Amino acid sequence: MVVRTLLVRGMVVGVLAGLLSWLFLYFFGEPAIDGAIAFEDRLAHAASESDGVALVSRGVQSTIGLGTAVILFGVAIGGLFALAYAVAYGRIGSLSPRATAAVLAAGAFVAVVLVPFLKYPANPPASTDAGTVSQRTGLYVVLLLVSVILAASSISVGRRLHPRVGAWNAVLLAAGLYVLTTGVVLMVMPSVDETPADFPGAVLYDFRVAALGNQVVLWVAIGLLFGWLTDRSLRRTTSVETVGGQR
Partner 1 sequence: MAQSVAVPASIPIPLRIPLREVVPWAVFAGAILLTLLYLVGLDQGAISVFSGQLLHEFVHDGRHLLGVPCH
Contact between 69 and 191 under an 8 Å Cβ cutoff? The reply is no
| Contacts to partner 1 by CB under 8 A | 1, 3-4, 7, 25, 29-30, 33, 54-56, 60-62, 65-66, 68-70, 72-73, 75-77, 79-80, 83, 86-87, 89-91, 94, 96-97, 113, 116-117, 120-125, 128, 130, 133-134, 136-138, 140-141, 207, 210-212, 214-215, 231, 234-235, 238
CB of 181 to partner 1, least distance (A): 22
Q: Which is nearer to partner 1, 146 or 211 (CB)?
A: 211
Give min distance, CB of 134 to partner 1, in A. Answer: 4
Residues 38, 44, 47: CA angle, nearest 5 degrees: 145
DSSP label of 247: -
C-beta closer to partner 1: residue 113 or 150: 113
Using the minimum distance from each CB to partner 1, give the nearer residue, 134 or 246: 134
Three-class SS of 140-201? HHHHHHHHHHHHHHHHHHHHHHHHHHCHHHHHHHHHHHHHHHHHHHHHHCCCCCCCCCCCCH
Binning the chain into helix, strand and coil, the percentages to the nearest 5 are: 80, 0, 20
Neighbouring C-beta atoms of residue 118, cutoff 10 Å: 13
Query: Who's near 128: CB < 8 A, 6+ residues apart?
Result: 136, 192, 194, 195
User: Which residue's CB is nearer to partner 1, number 130 or number 187?
Assistant: 130
Smallest distance from the beta carbon of 176 to partner 1, in angstroms? 26
Residue 10 vs 107, nearer CB to partner 1: 10
Q: Which is nearer to partner 1, 152 or 172 (CB)?
A: 152
Shortest distance (Å) from residue 70 CB to partner 1: 5
DSSP one-letter string for 55-72: SS-HHHIIIIIHHHHHHH
Residue 108's Cβ-count burial label (10 Å; 0-12, 13-18, 19+) is buried
Which of 180, 241 has the CB closer to partner 1? Answer: 241
What is the rounded CA–CA span in Å between residue 20 and residue 10? 15
